[in-house]
Amino acid sequence: MNEDSDALPCAEKMVFDNQKDAQSTALAADWQHGASLKAYQCRYCHLWHLSSQPTD
């Protein structure tokens, strides 16, 4: 069985086409839920996700 082709580690995350969309959603989550999220570009799919972990 070979499952390493399509299953990205980020498959279940929210995904955004660009940084602007990701950041505006992060900001909305901050306002609505007090969640401190950060937009980052994914090394796997090269799109944008939100992380609650500080990244650099």
- Contact residues toward Zn ion (CB under 5 A) are 10, 42, 44-45
Q: Report the distance separating Cα 17 and Cα 49, nearest Å.
A: 9
Q: How far is the CB of 56 from Zn ion (least distance, A)?
A: 18
Structure-block tokens of residue 12: 């279940």
At its nearest, how many Å lie between Zn ion and the CB of residue 39?
12
Q: How far is the CB of 12 from Zn ion (least distance, A)?
A: 10
Which residues touch 34 (CB under 8 Å, ≥6 apart)? Answer: none
Which is nearer to Zn ion, 29 or 45 (by Cβ)?
45
